[in-house]
Amino acid sequence: MKDVRVGICGLGTVGGGTFNVLNRNASLIEGRAGCTIRIGRVASRRQNDRIELGDIPFSNDIFDVVNDPDIDVVVELIGGYDVARELVLAAIENGKHVVTANKALIAVHGNEIFEAAEKKGVIVAYEAGVAGGIPVIKAIREGLVANRIDWIAGIINGTGNFILTEMNAGREFSDVLKQAQELGYAEADPTFDVEGIDAAHKLTILASAGFGVPLQFERAYTEGISKVTPYDIKHAEMLGYRIKHLGIARRREGGIELRVHPTLVPKELLIAQVDGVLNAVLVDGDAVGQTMYYGAGAGDEATASAVIADIVDVARAVSHGSTQRVPYLGFEPSALEDLPVLPVEDIYSAYYLRMQAEDHPGVLAKISSVLSEHGINIESVVQKESELSNGKIPVIMLTHTVQERQMNQAIAELEALADIDGPVVRIRAENFS
């Protein structure tokens, strides 16, 4: 099966991440894509010292990638409007597929780019332009095709969300912005992020894919977060709301709403609890109802995840003769691993334990001692003195993670103690950290 050769233009944060993930997970990706994805050429204004180029040709001229006859897919990661537009149009003209992370380019020049690509019969994919590694463009263009989409709302700029999350703790905007810049979450010129322009780029794309309308970024309404005060945050909270910088696109009679602005959201909704640099997109479809997509909206490897998903989409499209584009389990049959399901005794978990114990000194020490002998550390203990009954009280514990086998043995020993009455209730606990 034919290799698919990609050329990466731009070796900044996302370019570096893409390069590294493609290499680190090369055989995994090959097992899924059904073909080898080779980095054929890389071009950037300057080198990135966090990547090892090895033998891969490097140049300072990104058009070398576009003009290289061996490159099948041009990955545009330089950002910006003008040179990126030229680059992408030239790639299309040369019959190459394009994968981009450039939401600004697509929001402003997408109509023109898609028209050119359609004439040439090449793919232009842009998952990485919206909500980082969360596959939300795929969800809307493919997963939700059965639905009339009525509205889409999203926390789609991590910088703004980080700032508002910190302000929720009572801090002032300018103070948090400074910290965001120090942490690398905001640029020296943070306008695109805090004024909502970046979010509007992304919302424009979401709205077009959701409602089936041409991209109309210039008509999007944007309002930034610089005028949100801790006072309003506090009073919104008092009324039961969090303030988020939301992009909202809504289909209406005769038009669509396309707006980015600070928005009060009921605090019990999941989207109100999406904090820090995380993103979430909520989509309302007439058949499925509301679905939400949540995860890292930015970051070198998070965005690379979306870039590479698009590259693999292209690879699966070009390298399969048959219609069987995606292998049944997402992996080529030859790439499946024969990993056995482990017996439950082999799993690792934390545990909630509850037992009826004699209410006298030393019992807790005995219980702790049994657990400790089996390598089980205790996180919390609650003794319910108030529920004393027949000389016994409930003792409730939360342990740290341990192998189930150890826990089974510890429980058997505890149940054998004279001080413990009846079985030990055990419920597994999970922190996902």
**Binding positions for a second copy, 369-388, rule CB under 8 A:** 380, 382
For a second copy, give the closer residue by CB, 57 or 403: 403
State the amino acid at position 77 in one-letter form.
Answer: L
Q: Is 202 a catalytic residue?
A: yes
Does the footprint of a second copy cover residue 293 (CB under 8 A)?
yes
| 203-231 exposure pattern, b = at least 16 Cβ within 10 A, e = fewer | bbbbbbbbbeeebebeebebbbbeebeee
What does DSSP assign to residue 76?
E
Does the footprint of a second copy cover residue 8 (CB under 8 A)?
no
Does the footprint of a second copy cover residue 112 (CB under 8 A)?
no
Does the footprint of a second copy cover residue 95 (CB under 8 A)?
no
Q: What is the distance between the alpha carbons of residues 206 and 152, in angstroms, rounded to a whole number?
A: 7
Number of residues that bind a second copy (CB under 8 A): 146
User: 12 a known binding residue?
Assistant: yes
Catalytic residue among 2, 119, 138, 202: 202
For a second copy, give the closer residue by CB, 180 or 272: 272
CB of 43 to a second copy, least distance (A): 21
For a second copy, give the closer residue by CB, 57 or 396: 396
**Gyration radius of the chain's alpha carbons:** 27
- The secondary structure of 96-154 as a DSSP string is -EEEE--HHHHHHHHHHHHHHHHHHT--EE-GGGSSTTS-HHHIIIIITTTSPEEEEEE
User: 170 a known binding residue?
Assistant: no
What does DSSP assign to residue 182?
H
Q: What is the distance between the alpha carbons of residues 407 and 413, in angstroms, rounded to a whole number?
A: 10
User: 10 a known binding residue?
Assistant: yes
Q: What is the distance between the alpha carbons of residues 320 and 355, in angstroms, rounded to a whole number?
A: 59
CB of 59 to a second copy, least distance (A): 25
User: What does the per-residue mask of binding to a second copy show for 309-348, with x meaning CB under 8 A?
Assistant: x--xxx--xx---xxxxxxxxxx-x-xxxxxxxxxx-xxx
Q: Which stretch binds a second copy (CB under 8 A): 40-48, 52-60, 360-368, 424-432?
A: 424-432
Considering only 269, 364, 378, 417, the residue that binds a second copy (CB under 8 A) is 269
State the amino acid at position 302 in one-letter form.
Answer: A
For a second copy, give the closer residue by CB, 57 or 117: 117
Does the footprint of a second copy cover residue 92 (CB under 8 A)?
no
User: 11 a known binding residue?
Assistant: yes
User: 321 a known binding residue?
Assistant: no
Q: At what angle do helices 363-373 and 404-416 cross, to 10 degrees?
A: 150
Does the footprint of a second copy cover residue 396 (CB under 8 A)?
yes
Alpha carbon distance, N-terminus to C-terminus of the chain: 40
Instruction: Collect contacts of 207-210 with beta carbons under 8 A, ≥24 apart.
Output: 207/152, 207/249, 207/256, 207/258, 208/110, 209/137, 209/140, 209/141, 210/140, 210/149, 210/152, 210/249, 210/283
What does DSSP assign to residue 283?
E
CB of 111 to a second copy, least distance (A): 9
Per DSSP, what are the bridge partners of residue 65? Answer: none
Considering only 165, 168, 208, 356, the residue that binds a second copy (CB under 8 A) is 208
User: 160 a known binding residue?
Assistant: no
Q: Which helix (H) or strand (E) holds 61?
A: none
The token pair at 67 is: 């003009």
State the amino acid at position 191 in one-letter form.
Answer: T
CB of 11 to a second copy, least distance (A): 17
Considering only 214, 361, 385, 422, the residue that binds a second copy (CB under 8 A) is 214
For a second copy, give the closer residue by CB, 113 or 177: 113
**Binding positions for a second copy, 35-74, rule CB under 8 A:** none
**Binding positions for a second copy, 161-190, rule CB under 8 A:** none
Does the footprint of a second copy cover residue 99 (CB under 8 A)?
no
Does the footprint of a second copy cover residue 80 (CB under 8 A)?
no
User: 15 a known binding residue?
Assistant: yes
319: left (phi over 0), alpha (psi -120 to 50) or beta: alpha
Where is the binding site, in residues?
Answer: 9-16, 103, 187
Where is the binding site for L-homoserine, in residues?
Answer: 187
Where in the sequence numbering do the catalytic residues fall? 202
Where is the binding site for NADP(+), in residues?
Answer: 9-16
